[in-house]
Amino acid sequence: MNDVEGHTSSGTKRSTQPLPQLEQVEMKGMLEWLSAYGADAQGGVTRLLYDQAWCEAQHALAAKMQEKGLAPEFDQSGNLYGTLHGRGMGSEVGKGMEEAPIVTGSHIDTVVHGGKYDGAYGVVAGVLALEYLKKNFGVPKRTLQVVSLCEEEGSRFPFAYWGSRSITGVSGLEEVQYLKDQEGITFAQAIHDAGFGPDSSYRTASQTYGAFIELHIEQGQVLERLGHSIGIVSNIAGQKRFSITVSGVANHAGTTPMAWRKDALAGAAEMITAVRNIALEAGEPLVATVGRITADPGVGNVVASRAEFSLDIRHIRQESIDGCWHNMLQEFSRIAAEQQLGLNWEEHLSVIPIPMNEQITSDIRDICEVEQLSYMHLPSGAGHDSQIFQPACPTAMIFVPSQDGISHNPLEYTAEEDLMKGFRVLVQLLYKYGYGS
Amino acid sequence: MNDVEGHTSSGTKRSTQPLPQLEQVEMKGMLEWLSAYGADAQGGVTRLLYDQAWCEAQHALAAKMQEKGLAPEFDQSGNLYGTLHGRGMGSEVGKGMEEAPIVTGSHIDTVVHGGKYDGAYGVVAGVLALEYLKKNFGVPKRTLQVVSLCEEEGSRFPFAYWGSRSITGVSGLEEVQYLKDQEGITFAQAIHDAGFGPDSSYRTASQTYGAFIELHIEQGQVLERLGHSIGIVSNIAGQKRFSITVSGVANHAGTTPMAWRKDALAGAAEMITAVRNIALEAGEPLVATVGRITADPGVGNVVASRAEFSLDIRHIRQESIDGCWHNMLQEFSRIAAEQQLGLNWEEHLSVIPIPMNEQITSDIRDICEVEQLSYMHLPSGAGHDSQIFQPACPTAMIFVPSQDGISHNPLEYTAEEDLMKGFRVLVQLLYKYGYGS
């Protein structure tokens, strides 16, 4: 990792708030409780936007917020807010938006057969943090809020980040209403059936935030391998996704001399090798992945007439993504010309890199130093709600280690000790912004 | 092509039999007639072993043979013979088997949605050749026979060359009876339902032949590209088929640095490139093909944990096949070790190369010279019934051009002029062996 720095904190910089009885917070218990909604027999969780398990989980969370004294409220998208009202005094964060709440949270939805931590950790930690702060420090100066975002994964409809997009006003129902899920149900029907949408009694989703802070599992192996407890996200990587199609001519594997072939799969194979070599040469944090390939007709004794493969390129700098794609396309063209093959490509997705807010990031680093938590700055190669929030308000992300880097899988796991270290950082940060001068 | 020779015949070597009214032979008409059995709307033909279209075609052919005075007869496998009985005087071919018939023919079955020429051409040409010889030259000295072999393609049951294997005694019903087709019907049931098998009144399939001569479309582009009318097959290539499995670790495409990946698809891609390079370097007539590939989980944003691909290697010399496979496996192992991937392979098929009979091959060449037909010697990269016959009796193959090399496809086509040139060679050869001294 050449653009991240690791630190074993010296623990002497300045004081943070003493946090009494933090170890009594029921982090693991509440995560287990939430994971029962949409649980399957293999230990996985499936909660898709507006489906039954999702509805039950989101309403159960609302009841839990109520119970904990965090005035729960839904919006028309189905985002759920728990609020700890302040006395109207602003902290320094989000200048000019001193009246707007400081918000933490993450998403409640999962991928199909996902794990218990992705998204859920940030939601549960936010609820527990506000409960803890209220119990130990009373009414804050500035309003603190936890949000259980309705959707991030894009698992049910072909649209991701619906929760954060609707809150920040980037997208509205008019953009998604005709989308259909795999069973042919429209987005508009699904939101209505779940009791949300413009016909419901809830307020519109769009809202002004003072800051957004997301606590999340890393979903990678960097923290674990390098032995750090806290990851301070420097940037959320941008990405481009393509589908590359190589065209040749189907021919008999026995009767066509090698020199006369136009073998689409042989061409694709050389291109995939080029992807890896160009990415390795570009160096970290650039990653490029070919995860999917098909060959037609796909028979062992017929030269392939067509091969199609996916390409996913990510980096924290747009010019690096563009430069890498340029190099790959040049190499693809050279290979296609050399092997007399056709080449077509289609861009499916383009997300620009998003740097996290410097002030909050710096505050998180200070907390790690004082709390003597081993931390590092690192980019996030995965996409997160924070990339949607950052253009609208100061945003930062805190990562905790993922065991073996496994995510989107029932085996997703983070040790309770690590969950609590991330929680400690979140509580200190919210204390600073909610109760500090 | 470095191991074939092309010739524009000088036409002066020695005389062949004048063939009166050869142009009146209804080659195209009879091919069209046969293609109606199993025809589909797209111009393709599907006749699978013992299915209805196959039964109708084989019985219609028997009636046609009867009509043409070629005493038709089935055996228990469903192979159909049309015989032009001779006067019991042997020709030189097949020494020690002078009483055994000189046989020509090919297979009646097709691939699913195949063409009108593959197999059918050799059967139809054989019937027409014997009819023509009988009509123009009367009773031969030595018995001539045409065979419509029941099966070659392996399209219904996972077993190819059943016709020639049962005739030559290489395989019997005990070897195939429990095989099932895609609908779960056993081979034993299918042969019984078609009216054949050990309970039928037909004779057993096993028979002694004096020689076997197969006229067939090339199914490749060599003759067309090099401008020759007749291909004299020197060898039928041997082949080995493998399935190669590469194992890595599934990981998030965004959060896993390039250097930490164990990307099964990246490894497979480099191996496929190695296959092409090693084959090109080995030179003709070696061909190696990867036509099929799958990657798991096969998602664009997940590093592949597993990739599996097919490998088909063919050459006319066994040591070249073995040497090439050795080099590929060495390269696969190197790549797997370098990328920290697992490697497994399984051999599915191994067929040894079969050289065609020198005397018959030489006689075919002489006929081309005298008839002033442009010809070349070439290996067959595709498998044929002739490779099963050759170990049992002197065997040779004559190829005619395939337009664009297309076969196993409704677009399979050979111009009538080319069909007739191949027919002319067959007739001269059968005249020589049946009527010559």
DSSP secondary structure string for all residues of B281-344:
HH-TT-EEE---EEEES--TTEE-SEEEEEEEEEESSHHHHHHHHHHHHHHHHHHHHHTT-EEE
Question: How many contiguous H segments (helices) and E segments (strands) does chain B have?
Answer: 12, 17
CB contact under 8 Å between B291 and A298, yes or no, is yes
Structure tokens at B139: 């009773």
Confidence band, pLDDT 50/70/90 cuts, at residue B294: very high
> Of the given ranges (A385-399, B81-95, B420-434), which has the lowest mean pLDDT?
B81-95
pLDDT of residue B88: 72
Where along chain A do the CATH 3.40.630.10 domains lie?
Answer: 5-236+354-435
DSSP 8-state assignment for residue A180: B
Distance CA A37, CA B294 (A): 35
CB neighbours (10 Å) of residue A15? 7
- What homologous superfamily does CATH list for A5-236+354-435? Zn peptidases (3.40.630.10)
Q: CATH assignment of B5-236+353-435, given 3.40.630.30, 3.30.300.130, 3.90.1530.30, 3.40.630.10?
A: 3.40.630.10
Per-residue pLDDT tens over the stretch B375-403: 999 999 999 999 999 989 999 999 999 99
Q: Each residue of A255-272: pLDDT tens digit?
A: 999 999 999 999 999 999
Q: How many CB atoms lie within 10 A of CB A271?
A: 28
Residue B337: pLDDT over 60: yes
Q: Which two tokens stand for residue A99?
A: 């009246």
**For the segment B242-285, what is each residue's pLDDT rounded down to a tens digit?**
999 999 998 889 999 999 999 999 999 999 999 999 999 999 99
Judged on CB neighbours under 10 Å (0-12, 13-18, 19+), B385 is buried
* ipTM topping 0.95: no
pLDDT grade, residue B409 (50/70/90)?
Answer: confident
- Among B218, B240, B262, B289, most A C-beta atoms within 10 A, so best to mutate, is B289
| Listed residue (B231, B239, B163, B241) closest to B196, CA to CA | B163
For residue B86, the one-letter residue type is: G
Q: Give one DSSP letter per residue of B120-173, joined into a string.
A: HHHHHHHHHHHHHHHHHH-S-SS-EEEEEES--S-SSSS---HHHHHHTTS--H
Residues of A in contact with B276 (CB under 8 A): 258, 263, 266, 269-270
The segment(s) of chain B belonging to CATH 3.30.70.360 are 238-351
Q: Which two tokens stand for residue B17?
A: 């039999």
- How far apart CA A434 and CA A87 sit, in angstroms, is 10
| d(C-alpha B381, C-alpha B218), whole Å | 9
Indicate which of A236, A240, A255, A341 best probes the interface with B, i.e. most B CBs within 10 Å of its own CB.
Answer: A255
Q: Are B367 and B314 in contact (CB under 8 A)?
A: no
Locate the chain A residue with the closest alpha carbon to B284: A257
Residues B210-235, buried b or exposed e (16+ Cβ, 10 A)?
Answer: bbbbbbbbbbbbbbbeeebbbbbbbb
pLDDT at B35: 98
C-alpha span between B3 and B196 (Å, rounded): 43
Please state the rounded mean pLDDT for residues B281-290: 96
| Model pLDDT, residue A98 | 62
Tokens of A9: 């904190």
CB pairs under 8 A between A and B: 209
Question: What is the reported pLDDT for B207?
Answer: 85
pLDDT of residue B5: 56
* Tokens matching residue B340: 């920290």
pLDDT category of residue A212 using cuts at 50, 70 and 90: very high
For residue A14, the distance in angstroms to the closest alpha carbon of chain B comes to: 33
CB B272 to CB A265 under 8 A? yes
Residues of chain B within CATH 3.40.630.10 domain(s) are 5-236+353-435
Domain B238-351: assigned CATH number: 3.30.70.360
